[in-house]
Amino acid sequence: QVTLKESGPGILQPSQTLSLTCSFSGFSLSTSGICVSWIRQPSGKGLEWLATICWEDSKGYNPSLKNRLTISKDTSNNQAFLKITSVDTADTAIYYCARTNWAYGFDYWGQGVMVTVSS
């Protein structure tokens, strides 16, 4: 059974760095063809793909935020991470992680974690 769960700070202040963790089970990020992605959804707005990291450590970023994003993984502990630097109120959103396959898209998602940026 594939499961993913996101964790984060809940609330942080503008200009800080947001650190998110995706803990997963039921698959391995060392398996060929497997990736993990981060997606977010601001309240009342649409979904936005942020970044993807794959089994061989290749990475992809949304160009609209590329300079602020860093995705990484800990294969041994079945975790993926996302850092977003210099956050502001526009980064307030629900953040999801999802297992990803380049041929099939996002197939399993976590429930999401709410992150609020506020002074």
Partner 1 sequence: DIQMTQSPSFLSASVGDRVTINCKASQNINKYLNWYQQKLGEAPKLLIYNTNNLQTGIPSRFSGSGSGTDYTLTISSLQPEDVATYFCLQHSSRPWTFGGGTKLELK
Per DSSP, 90 falls in state G
Which string of b and e fits 9-27 if b means at least 16 CB within 10 Å?
A: eeebeeeeebebbbbbeeb
Q: Give me the amino acid identity at 71.
A: I
Near partner 1 by CB under 8 A: residue from 57, 74, 88, 107: 107
Task: Give the footprint of partner 1 on residues 18-77 (CB under 8 A).
Answer: 46-49, 60, 62-64
Nearer to partner 1, 12 or 20 (CB): 20
Nearer to partner 1, 53 or 96 (CB): 96
| DSSP per position, 51-79 | EEEETTS-EEE-TTTGGGEEEEEEGGGTE
Nearer to partner 1, 55 or 94 (CB): 94
- Interface positions with partner 1 (CB under 8 A): 4, 46-49, 60, 62-64, 96, 98, 102-112
